[in-house]
Amino acid sequence: MGPEMGGAAEAAVARVEAREVWKSYNGRPVLAGVSVEARGSEIVGIVGPNGSGKTTLLRIIAGLERPDKGRVVVRGRALLVFQENLLLPWKRLRDNIALGLRYRGAPRRVVEERIAWAARLLGIEEHLDKYPGEVSGGTARKAAVARMLVLDPDILLLDEPLAGLDVESRRSLLEAVDAIAHRHGKTVVIVDHILDEVAYYADRVYVLTQPPARVEAEVELRDAPRAERLAIVYEALSRVYRERGRLALPERVERDALPG
């Protein structure tokens, strides 16, 4: 790729791009040339089956691992919310969310303001004085997101944020993510295996293949009505499968099927 052109406004837009990323563990390929991109105020969903390298891809984007091959560009500050939440059980949610800010020496007033803002956005104000063991999985997940959000990242990487949550928790978490991206201007990358809800909220979805992962389909959804987005992704996938099926047909049938 050539040098980035773009003016000053363009230069300020957060961006994350993985291009043809390859990764193997013990000689076994997990990612086999995966390219994804997210920029500006948008939600990008990366959906794939279990073991398809979604976590590995996020860890590479976050700089926690190196790809064997390929290029990763991150413009802006990216923070990863781990699938396991990693809340400290002996600290109240409020203090868990404050951890990074206090570590950075943020003034008390700033810490309190940011916690109040993030808690309101995620709808967990009433739980701030509880311990992680006293709240639902959905509230704990939201607290884990809040803990990163208060650090004001440009890019938020969410590793399977919907895993283990009930329908209402998934909906309310994704509503908050929607506000984080579209009202507060963050770039959000969600990896998950639940296509339905991710498609409903995402501006673009990448569907990964079974491992070793490649991008099976990349589907733009930004301008599509939400209620139609899942169908649009399924249509795109059907096209891919049909195409593959067609290519797999014997040569004779293949020729017969050609127009003219």
Ligand X SMILES: Nc1ncnc2c1ncn2[C@@H]1O[C@H](COP(=O)(O)OP(=O)(O)OP(=O)(O)O)[C@@H](O)[C@H]1O
Q: Binding residues for ligand X, per CB under 6 A?
A: 25, 30, 48, 50-56, 193
- Closer by beta carbon to ligand X, 50 or else 109: 50
Amino acid at 115: I
- Closer by beta carbon to ligand X, 56 or else 96: 56
The conformation of residue 63, written as its DSSP 8-state character, comes to T
- Closer by beta carbon to ligand X, 14 or else 30: 30
Least distance in angstroms from the C-beta of 251 to ligand X: 36
State how far the Cα of 162 lies from the Cα of 201, in Å rounded to an integer: 13
- Closer by beta carbon to ligand X, 138 or else 212: 212
- Residue 197 to residues 174, 180, 205, 259: CA-CA distances in angstroms? 8, 16, 11, 39
Angle between helices 108-122 and 93-103 (to 10 degrees): 130
- Closer by beta carbon to ligand X, 28 or else 255: 28
**Which residues, 6+ apart, have CB-to-CB distance to 29 below 8 Å?**
22, 23, 211, 212
- 21 and 31 Cβ atoms separated by less than 8 Å: yes
Least distance in angstroms from the C-beta of 135 to ligand X: 23
State how far the Cα of 93 lies from the Cα of 152, in Å rounded to an integer: 18
State how far the Cα of 233 lies from the Cα of 47, in Å rounded to an integer: 11
- 63 and 222 Cβ atoms separated by less than 8 Å: no
Least distance in angstroms from the C-beta of 32 to ligand X: 12
3 state DSSP class of 198: helix
Least distance in angstroms from the C-beta of 21 to ligand X: 12
Least distance in angstroms from the C-beta of 8 to ligand X: 37
CA–CA–CA angle 174, 179, 184 (5° rounding): 140
- Closer by beta carbon to ligand X, 50 or else 259: 50
Angle between helices 167-182 and 137-149 (to 10 degrees): 10
Least distance in angstroms from the C-beta of 130 to ligand X: 28
Least distance in angstroms from the C-beta of 23 to ligand X: 8
- Closer by beta carbon to ligand X, 121 or else 199: 199
